[in-house]
Amino acid sequence: MEANPPPSHTITVHWRQEGRVIRHQVPEGAYILRSFEEQGDPLPFSCRNGCCTACAVRVLSGSIDQHEALGLSRELRSRGYGLLCVARAIGPLELETQDEDEVYELQFGRHFGRGRVRPGLPLEEE
| Domain assignments of the chain as residue spans, ordered by start | 8-112
**What CA–CA distances, in Å, run from 96 to 12, 13, 21, 65, 123?**
8, 6, 9, 16, 36
**What CA–CA distances, in Å, run from 59 to 5, 8, 48, 69, 80?**
26, 18, 19, 14, 5
* pLDDT by 10s per residue, the chain, length 126: 667 888 999 999 999 999 999 999 999 999 999 999 999 999 999 988 888 888 999 999 999 998 888 888 889 999 999 999 999 989 999 999 998 888 888 887 766 655 555 556 555 554
DSSP bridge pairs for 57: 82, 97
CATH architecture of 8-112: Roll (3.10)
**Predicted TM-score (pTM) of this structure:** 0.80
